[in-house]
Structure 1
Amino acid sequence: MNPSNRRPWEMDPELDALDVDPDDLLPSVPLKKVPAGDLFEAARAGDVERLGYLLESGANVNVRDRWDSVALYYACLAGHVDAARMLLEAGAICSERTFDGDRCHYAALNLRVRRLLKAFEARPPPLGPLPSALRDTFLGCPGNRKAYIEQCADAAAGSALAAGYSSTNDGSNFNSLPPDITFYVDGRPIEAHRVILSARSPFFKKKFESEWKGRKEVRFSSQKLSYGALYSLIHFFYSDRLEVAVDDMEDLVRTCKACKCEELQKIIQKELSHQKFAEYKSLREVDNSQKRFILQGSSLPEEDRLPSALHRILHDSLACSGTKNMSTANIHEARANQSGNDDFADLCVKVGPRFFRCHQVILASRSEYFRARLSRMTDFLEGNHELSNFSLPFLEEHDLSIEAFEKMIEYMYTDGLKDMEPEQAEEMFDVASRYLLFPLKRAVADVLLPHLELVSAAELCHWLVLADMYGVLKIREYCLDVIACNFETFADAREFRALLLTLPPPSGDSSLRTTRPSAPGSAGNSDQSNLLDDLREKWLEAEAAELDKRDESATLFDKRLEMLMVVAEREAADAGDCPVGL
């Protein structure tokens, strides 16, 4: 968690108007370093460096200590606003009108922390790309969407959500693939997909492999099962975030027990006891019907979270995949192995000589390319003569390596990349653009950045051009920063001088020279931005040119570029005159 990358947050106007003692704006406990401390000690000490290291290392931000307290509580108690902010941005849950929420608000020892909690409005951070995409798919089903809007306790939130889906009544803008299973509780539907439920729950997996195999509908008695509890649980399976009414929490505990979601059941049971205690202590100004409990999937052990669950499904699918030259015996053997461990695959994708068993709901949720292609084709079996023993819908992808497709579906199923070589990055950028899987670019950039710290000037110029072409702003900004800070070193590199001949010339508009460059990812940093204009601005920043001398300095920089281009043109001409092979 880099403090320089923090987003701005807004203060509540009512709190700004309060007259407070200046001492109330200061931390209540002095900052100190805890180089070997755990998450709780770092939060209590306000050591944001240690806290950031622990969070980046995968520490569970909502874990509890032996006193049943979370790290956010200690940060609030000590008045460390930076530590509290870092925890909130990392996913610390401070649900309104709940045990933890009230505890953090009451424990905040200065106004800055209370302002921070108010600014975040006790709401969880945005979902990651994978749970966000699957949540859109879940709410894209008409019945699920209607139920969610009805359950929104906040009228404004419900109206906003309704407006977001109002362009269509069938959910086609969000989910082109229909659900393959529908549950009815007291006549109310919950639409879902078998592979998601099977990945998250042993109960559903066993049922779909046995008595529910092939069924499109399953009806439950409302006397044995609460609609709200089952809806909240299935919504959690897709989004990795639990949002449940407090009144439904007891029913949800029973539902989790039946579905064998043991870790989730333990957490909800504990929170239910906290809620009862909070009710006993509260003024009862708000009844339970207005209260909702929110839980992040990050509060669960790694193996119980959405990425790990889908990774297991992907592993099973790849184990059943093979090549087009498989013999009939091999195919029957693969089917026999699969029968005891159903991967619920409903799509076969051929890449070169290999085919991959995949799941339409995952591919369509993550990629608009696959969503459009799958939604417009029914009973399609492209090249089916090669795989006549398989009855799955069949797609064939061209101009794509097997390794790149494997990495792509690994990211689509898990939101992560492991063991990717830097040499694969260029093809992965192309894959992300071709399949409209834009978050993949950021994941590839994160893997590539450490490698760029060791490359030559020539290779860095190569990556700058690629990053600009594919719109990978993180890599583009890094390359420009390195070149600007080491400009004379790059000016001596022939590859950099040759690169200048391929780029549009810098703008002569002086207004571009006296304004700060756009922040990475901002609207101002568009596809029309000029690389040399941006390089000039970064060079001016690196040189710390004073504002009244920026025009003069920018002019000198442009003249330096012109001189380098003249040298580059001469070098290109000389190279053209040389005999081939010399």
Structure 2
Amino acid sequence: MAFIEDGIDLDASDFAASVPLKKVPNGDVFEASRAGDVERLRYLLESGVNVNARDQWDSVALYYACLAGHLDAARMLLESGAICSEHTFDGDRCHYAALNLKVRKLLKAFEARPPPLAPLQAALRDTFLSSPANRSFYDLSDTDFHLPGISSTQGSSRGYFPPDVVFIVHGRPIEAHRVILSARSPFFKKKFETDWKDRSEVRLPREKLSYPALYSLIHFFYSDRLEIAVDDMEDLVRICKVCNLESLQKILEKEVIHQKYAEYKALKDVDNSQKRYILQGLSLPVEDRLPAALHLILQTALSNSTLGNGQDDAVDKLIAGIGAMKMGRSIDDLADVCVRVDGKNFRCHQVVLASRSEYFKTRLLRMKDFHEGEDELYLDLLPCIEEHDLSTDAFEKMIEYMYTDGLQDINPDQAEEMFDVASRYLLFPLKRAVADVLLPHLEMVSPEELCHWLILADLYGVFKIREYCLDTIACNFETFADTKEFRAMLLTFPPPSGDSSLRTTVPSMPGSDLKSDQGNLLDDLREKWLEIEAAELDKRDESALQFDKQLEMLMLVAEQEKSDNSEADADGMDDLKTLGLSPDSTLISGDAERTVIS
């Protein structure tokens, strides 16, 4: 199959190794890339290694894959987020070091096309670009630099959420939200607490301030991805210095030096295109990335949240405010909405809730002129919405995910409520986050409990847990077949689809069509069992019939056990009637009390 991108095609034969492949079972990402060990490389990337990390020679993994001519390794790195722009330091090194034209063709196909953003960054970026003013400049600056999945009209009206501050630079506006800027920069945080506290519009002086550089920085605050023209990088370095962004400033200063050398070597009469620089948030320390910044501001808001109802809540809030002032701590956490859940007021931020959930966006856009209360004891009056049929623990976990894109831990007993919350509030990626936390717990549960998790995962469409349960059952089918709970579970499943004789030679590839809506559970279990027991095609038909017969026998046993239980329950009722008792009667002997239940 040919790989085609912008007219650049690569045949399957092009992916043959140019140098002998090696195995590095314990190697790092650089050694795996240099050796072309795609299995080791895949393991490291799935484990979360930084694909753009540098080694002691200031080289990235993609450089070694290109140098050795390993196309498979290079493509895996590019698809995992390795940045390769021909006009950046790393991009130039990869292009110049490419062993052959095949590698260079691959680099050209992926050039300047960063990977998709994570859900949090993508949601906030969409909110930033939903502003017509912000979008118009982005489209203008993006004339020669088109990113995948971004149309010229995306966000122009759909999903627009109003800003609470507008910066005017050189007569052009940049619309933003205070909480995002305060979370990312100490400079903005201090300004919003002092000089800009009550201002919705801030006019910045023209001298020594570049509109494109400031726009790129604010866009970076929302998306954790910096996209800037090389000509504006020095201006951005000066802005980073003012905003106390030390880690970003150091990276940009280093890249400016690299760009000067690249410009010295370039043939200006040949290459006169607009050069742009891309920086992923993963290149920054963890504490300087978007999730960590929002997590800190969430912790501050949660510490200011209050318990209680009605007037008691007002008193609690007054006490909390006085205590905060005595400690020299401001209660101003930039929260602009209160969410009341089961008697507790959670101080939150509208832009985060609206960006992550269409449910909250709709409610907040319709919310006008109603507050927590009009009592003078309130130190601040925030718009308030109330959520019902929801525990405070579940809501706290939900907003933890909304602000950070992850969960630290979760009680397995909360899982079902969290899956329900994800569906109710249209936060479907939350299911995957809960599943990631739960998987280590599932490795230690009994077969009986694993059956419960399978039913739950299938009910709520949690693909990762569903697949894990099916894989475990298929690998240990005899063990599960001996448990009464598994046999009883089989009776609750829909019958297999189609004629079994037709299903023996044509596997259904469960989960390949839809990611959220799974197929028939028995069909999927059957296919996974066949993958283990009948890897060879000539044995597949025989093994499939064998599995179907086992399944029929187990269902017959389950039907008999169900019938026996029903008869036992009926006999118990008859015994109670013989004694003249009802099922909920109470027998009292001396001081002891015993309840008879059927």
TM superposition score normalised by structure 2:
0.86
Letter in 1 for 2:19: S
Q: Which deviates more from structure 2 when the two are superposed, residues 371-380 or residues 209-218?
A: 371-380
Letter in 2 for 1:174: G
Q: Who is 2:437 aligned against?
A: 447
Asked whether the equivalents of residues 245 and 289 of structure 1 are also in contact (C-alpha less than 8 Å), the reply is no
Shift of 1:109: 1.7
RMSD: 3.0
Asked whether the equivalents of residues 8 and 105 of structure 2 are also in contact (C-alpha less than 8 Å), the reply is no
The aligned runs of 1:144-293 (5 Å cut-off) are 144-154=134-144, 161-165=151-155, 171=157, 173-175=158-160, 177-284=161-268, 290-293=274-277
Shift of 1:536: 2.0
> Per-residue displacement from partner, 1:191-214 (whole Å, max 9, x unpaired)?
000000001111111110001011
Asked whether the equivalents of residues 247 and 289 of structure 1 are also in contact (C-alpha less than 8 Å), the reply is no
Shift of 1:484: 2.1
Q: Hey, what's the Cα distance between the residues in 2 that align with 1:352 and 1:526?
A: 31
Asked whether the equivalents of residues 166 and 176 of structure 2 are also in contact (C-alpha less than 8 Å), the reply is yes
**Which among 500, 515, 527 is matched to residue 506 of structure 2?**
515
**Which among 114, 117, 131 is matched to residue 141 of structure 1?**
131
Provide the secondary structure at the position in 2 that maps to 1:190.
Answer: strand
Q: Who is 1:340 aligned against?
A: 330
Q: Hey, what's the Cα distance between the residues in 1 that align with 2:268 and 2:506?
A: 55
Q: Hey, what's the Cα distance between the residues in 2 that align with 1:52 and 1:537?
A: 25
Asked whether the equivalents of residues 61 and 299 of structure 1 are also in contact (C-alpha less than 8 Å), the reply is no
Asked whether the equivalents of residues 10 and 119 of structure 1 are also in contact (C-alpha less than 8 Å), the reply is no
Shift of 1:271: 0.8
Shift of 1:79: 2.9
The aligned runs of 1:84-483 (5 Å cut-off) are 84-110=74-100, 113-154=103-144, 161-165=151-155, 171=157, 173-175=158-160, 177-284=161-268, 290-324=274-308, 325=312, 327-328=315-316, 329-333=318-322, 336=325, 340=330, 342-381=332-371, 390-483=380-473
Provide the secondary structure at the position in 1 that maps to 2:279.
Answer: strand
Q: Which deviates more from structure 2 when the two are superposed, residues 549-558 or residues 443-452?
A: 549-558
Provide the secondary structure at the position in 2 that maps to 1:161.
Answer: coil
Q: Does 1:31 align with 2:22?
A: yes
1:19–1:544 Cα change, 3 Å: closer
Shift of 1:359: 0.5
Shift of 1:339: 5.4
Shift of 1:437: 0.7
Q: Hey, what's the Cα distance between the residues in 2 that align with 1:57 and 1:467?
A: 24
Q: Which deviates more from structure 2 when the two are superposed, residues 191-200 or residues 49-58?
A: 49-58
The aligned runs of 1:486-565 (5 Å cut-off) are 486-509=476-499, 510-518=501-509, 520=511, 522-524=512-514, 527=517, 529-544=519-534, 547=537, 550=540, 553-565=543-555
Shift of 1:301: 1.0
Aligned positions, number: 564
Shift of 1:316: 1.0
Tell me: higher relative CO, structure 1 or 2? Use CA pairs within 8 A at least 6 residues apart: 1
Asked whether the equivalents of residues 493 and 521 of structure 2 are also in contact (C-alpha less than 8 Å), the reply is yes
Shift of 1:252: 1.1
Provide the secondary structure at the position in 2 that maps to 1:293.
Answer: strand
Stretches of structure 1 lacking an aligned partner (at least 5 in a row): 1-7
The sequence identity of aligned pairs, in percent, is 67
1:381–1:518 Cα change, 3 Å: farther
Computing the radius of gyration over CA atoms, which structure comes out larger, 1 or 2?
2
TM superposition score normalised by structure 1:
0.88
Q: Hey, what's the Cα distance between the residues in 2 that align with 1:231 and 1:409?
A: 28
Q: Hey, what's the Cα distance between the residues in 2 that align with 1:277 and 1:355?
A: 56
Asked whether the equivalents of residues 485 and 539 of structure 1 are also in contact (C-alpha less than 8 Å), the reply is yes
1:431–1:18 Cα change, 3 Å: closer
Shift of 1:45: 4.1
1:16–1:415 Cα change, 3 Å: closer
Q: Hey, what's the Cα distance between the residues in 2 that align with 1:571 and 1:554?
A: 26
> Per-residue displacement from partner, 1:412-440 (whole Å, max 9, x unpaired)?
11111112233322222111111111111
Asked whether the equivalents of residues 133 and 174 of structure 2 are also in contact (C-alpha less than 8 Å), the reply is yes
Asked whether the equivalents of residues 349 and 397 of structure 1 are also in contact (C-alpha less than 8 Å), the reply is yes
Provide the secondary structure at the position in 2 that maps to 1:295.
Answer: strand
> Per-residue displacement from partner, 1:198-256 (whole Å, max 9, x unpaired)?
01111111110001011011112333311110110000000000000112112111111
Q: Hey, what's the Cα distance between the residues in 2 that align with 1:569 and 1:27?
A: 61
Letter in 1 for 2:362: A
Asked whether the equivalents of residues 73 and 107 of structure 1 are also in contact (C-alpha less than 8 Å), the reply is yes
Q: Hey, what's the Cα distance between the residues in 1 that align with 2:140 and 2:79?
A: 29
Asked whether the equivalents of residues 73 and 104 of structure 1 are also in contact (C-alpha less than 8 Å), the reply is yes
Asked whether the equivalents of residues 11 and 115 of structure 1 are also in contact (C-alpha less than 8 Å), the reply is no
